[in-house]
Amino acid sequence: MNLLMMTFSHKRLPVSNFKNCLFTSCNFNYADLQEVNTTSYLFNHCHFLNSSLHSSNHKNTAFTNYKFDGANLFVAVFQKYKITGSTFGEANMSEVSIKGGNWSYTSLRHQKLYQYNLSGVQLIEASIYRIIC
């Protein structure tokens, strides 16, 4: 499934297992994506302002050049994940599980990363200004 420039703002996406989807320049602001499972997704230039991904699980999924500003990622799981050129301004990353992946060119400014095992995670040119370790 390929979706271009669609808006999912203020929507509740159904809890299910999605596979092999491409979202380009889509808007997920204030969307409810709690407990969503994604496998082999690509989110390119999408916005997740104040969205909820609480308890979501993402495997072999890529978020490139996206904004997670103010998003709730509480207990989300990221496995073999690609997050490049993205921002997490004021996002809630409490209890997030990070299992490998590429987080290069990503802004993790002011995030509390002290409880994470980041071994196997690429952080090339990532902004880690004032992270709490």
pTM, two decimal places? 0.86
**Coil, strand or helix at 2:** strand
15-42 pLDDT, tens digit per residue, is 666 788 899 999 999 999 999 999 999 9
38-59 pLDDT, tens digit per residue, is 999 999 999 999 999 999 999 9
Task: Kindly compute the dihedral angle of the four CA atoms of residues 36, 41, 45, 46, in this order, to the nearest 10 degrees.
Answer: -20
64-75 pLDDT, tens digit per residue, is 998 999 999 999
Domains of the chain in start order, with CATH, are 1-133 (2.160.20.80)
Length reported for the chain: 133
84-99 pLDDT, tens digit per residue, is 999 988 899 988 988 8
AA identity, residue 74 = F
**CA 104 – CA 87 distance, rounded (Å):** 11
